[in-house]
Amino acid sequence: MKEIKQIIAAYETACKQQQKAALATVVHIEGSSYRSAGARMLITEDGRLTGAISGGCLEGDALRKALLVMMDEHPMLVTYDTSDEGGSVLGVGLGCDGIIRVLIEPLTSHIEETPISLLKRVAASRQPSALVTFFTPDDKRNGRQGTTIAATEEGIHTAGSTSLVPCERISKDMQCVLAAQHTAFIAYESEQEGGTAILACIEYVAPPPALVIAGAGNDVLPLARLAELLGWELTLIDGRPNYANTGRFPDCQVIVSGPEQALQNVRIDERTAVVLMSHNYAYDKAIFKAVVGSLAGYVGILGPVKKRQRMLDELEEEGIVIPQDRRAQVYGPVGLDIGAETSEEIALAVVAEIKAVFAGRRGSHLRDLTGRIHQRQSRINPSLQTYGVLLLAAGESKRMGTPKQQLRYQERTLLQHAVSAALEAGVGSTTVVLGSEAAAMAKQLADISVDTVVNNDYAEGMATSLVCGVRHVMTHHPHVAHLIVMLCDQPYVDAAHLRALINQQRLTAAPITASYYEGRKGVPALFHQSVFPLLLALNGDTGAKHVIESFGDEVAIVAFPLGAVDVDTRDAYNKLFANV
C-alpha cells in the first residue's frame, strides 16, 4: 500500500508541473520474478520513476517504452522473458527464470476517473479491495487495455469511458477474489474485440497493517521509524505529554490519554497489531484488557514470559474469559528470536514478527524452504460464467415421510434455501432436477432465474437425476466447463462454501474438488467437464460419491465439517432447530 500512496503523490506532483506520466503494472507472471502481479511504477516524462516492477533490471526498458506510450497516448503490453541467460531481450542475462507481462498505460489528467483515481479509492479504504487491469496478449497495442475497475467497501468504481469487459460480467469474479484473499487471472470471451482473448488481473489489495503502540519512551522511537518506513498506519498512546507528542513522533497519530479512554477513537481490525511497551504494568494491563477481546490480529507484550502470564491470570481472576484462539494471538515476550539487545534490534525483531504473523509465515530461514519462496498463483482461469450448479431435488424422501425439499428452514423451504445459495455464488447457470412433487416445487421457483428439469425416472435411484441434470447442462449450457453438484438437504451449504470450492479448483486445477467432512469426501463437489462422461455412466442409486472416490488423491478438498449435517429424518430436522 505504501507504493500505491507514493505513486499517487508522485502523480499529483507531475500534474502540478504539467508533466505527462504513464503507469506500468505487472499484470501476469509465469515462473519466478522479483515482484508479483500488481507491482506498479509511475514514469514521468522527465524520467522520474516511482515504485518498481522488478529489482531494477526492467525499469530502464520500461522507461523507454513509457515515453513512447506518453507520446501516442496509447497503452502497450510488454513481455519480458527473464529466463534468457544470453540477454537477447534486454541486453543482460537476468536469470530470474520467468516471463513477466507489464502493461504500460498513459495517464490523461483531463479525464475525471483514471487509474490513479481508482488507486486513491483503494488507498483510502481500511477494508480489502480488488483492482482489475485488463490486457490482451494477442493485441499488445489494444487501446482499451488498462486498470479500469476497483471494488472497495463503498462499491464498484470504473475509470475510462469503456471497459473491455462490463462490470456486471466481472463483479462475481471480484467477489471471489475478495473471499479467497488472493489475486486471480481470469480469461473472458470477447464480445467486441474480434475474437481477441481478454485477460483480467484481478488483484487482491489488503489494507496496510496498523500498529498501535502503548508507550512513548525512547525505545519506541526505532519501532515507530521502522513502521513508518514500511508504510504502516501508526498510532501511539501514552499518558505523558512530555513523551507523547508530534515533535518526537511526527509521522503518526499521537493520543495522550489514560488507558481507559485511549482506544475510544482507534479503529482496531484484523490487520491491527498492538504492542505494549509503556514500562508501566498497570497501563499496559489496562490496554491489554481492552484489546485482548478485540479483532486485533496481533498483541505483543514487551517483557518476560511471567509478565504475559500474570496479565492473563489476573484477567481470568476478574472473570474475563479469554478463548484459546485469542490467547494464540498474544505474543510475549514480543518479537522473533534474533538475539536482539538494543532498542533498534528489538524494533527489528518486533516488526519482523508482526509481518510474519500477518503473512501466515513462521519466520524461518529461506534457505531451509523447499520449493518457491513466494507461493504465487499464475494460472489463468475461466470466468464464473463457465461454472454451473446442478441441484438434485428429485428424491421421494422415504425416510422423512414427507418431501424434505418442502420443509421450512430460515423462513423458506430447504429447496429455496439451496437455490438461493447457488444463485448467490454467481455462477453462469443453475439447474434444478425435480421428480417427486415436481409441479408443486416448480411453483416455488417460478420467479427465480434457474432451469428446472423433471426426472420422470427418479424412483430408479439418484443416478438417474444426476444423469438427467448433466445432460441438460451439456445441451442447454455448453459453455459450462465446471459443474457443482449439490443437494438441498444440507442446510449449512451457503454461497461462501460454493465459492471456496471454486477457489480451490482454480488454485489446483484438480478434476474434482470435494467437500471434506467426517473423514470423507463428498458433495457439494465441483467436477470438471472431463469428468462428465463418468457421471453420465452412473446408474441405479449410485451417486457422485462413487466418481469422487475413484479419483483418489487427485481430488482437491475443502474442509466443511457442517457438511455432515443433512436432513434425512424427522429427528435430524428437529435437531437442526435445536442447534440454532
| Cβ-contact 25, 39 below 8 angstroms | yes
Please give the DSSP secondary-structure letter assigned to residue 375: -
- Which own/partner contact pairs does 121-124 have at CB distance under 8 Å and 24+ positions apart? 121/150, 121/152, 121/154, 121/157, 122/4, 122/150, 122/152, 122/205, 123/1, 123/4, 123/5, 123/8, 124/152
Pick the CATH number of 383-578 from 3.90.550.10, 3.30.70.20, 3.40.50.620, 2.70.150.10: 3.90.550.10
Q: In what order do the strands lie in the sheet with 253-256?
A: 253-256, 233-238, 210-214, 272-276, 298-301, 330-331
Q: Domain ranges in the chain?
A: 2-205, 210-359, 383-578
How far apart are alpha carbons 322 and 299 in whole angstroms? 13
State the Cα–Cα distance between residues 229 and 209, nearest whole angstrom. Answer: 12
pLDDT cut 90: percent of the chain above it: 62
The residue type at 62 = A
pLDDT given at position 92: 41
Q: Position 293: which residue type?
A: G
Count, residues in the chain: 580
The vertex-68 CA angle with 67 and 71, nearest 5°, equals 90
Asked if residue 402 has pLDDT above 50, the reply is yes
- pLDDT grade for 571, boundaries at 50, 70 and 90: confident
Q: Measure the N-to-C terminal CA separation of the chain; round to a whole number of Å.
A: 41
Judged by average pLDDT, the poorest of 279-283, 322-326, 355-359 is 322-326
Q: What is the mean pLDDT of residues 358-381?
A: 81
Topology given in CATH for the domain delimited by 210-359: Rossmann fold (3.40.50)
Q: Where are the beta strands (DSSP E) in 324-434?
A: 330-331, 380-382, 387-393, 408-409, 412-413, 429-434
Which distant-in-sequence residues (6+ apart) come within 8 Å of 555 by Cβ?
Answer: 510, 511, 512, 513, 514, 521, 548
Count H helices and E strands in the chain, helices first. Answer: 16, 26
Task: Tell me whether residue 551 is exposed, middle or buried, using C-beta atoms within 10 angstroms of its C-beta: 0 to 12, 13 to 18, 19 or more.
Answer: middle
Q: pLDDT tens, 243-275?
A: 999 999 998 999 999 998 899 889 999 999 999
Cell numbers describing residue 557: 478438498
Query: In the predicted model, is pLDDT for residue 205 greater than 50?
Result: yes
Contacts of 336 (CB under 8 A, 6+ apart): 349, 352, 353, 356, 363
Mean pLDDT, all residues of the chain: 88
pLDDT band at residue 453 under the 50/70/90 scheme? very high
* pLDDT(33) > 80: no
The answer, yes or no, to whether the previous bond of 491 is cis (omega within 30 of 0) is no
Average pLDDT estimate for 126-142: 92
pLDDT digits (tens, 9 = 90+) for 209-229: 999 999 999 999 999 999 999
Dihedral over alpha carbons 116, 122, 123, 127 (to 10 degrees) = 180
pLDDT digits (tens, 9 = 90+) for 443-452: 888 888 899 9
Specify the pairing of strand 233-238 against strand 482-487: unpaired
Say what the pTM is: 0.83
Helical packing angle, 414-424 and 495-508, nearest 10°: 40
CA 91, CA 267: separation in Å to the nearest integer? 50
Which cell numbers hold the place of 444?
A: 416455488
d(CA 133, CA 292): 39
Helix, strand, coil percentages in the chain from 3-state DSSP, rounded to 5: 35, 25, 40
Residue 93: its pLDDT value, please? 43
Measured CA distances, 348 to 48, 229, 335 (Å): 31, 12, 8
For residue 91, pLDDT beyond 50: no
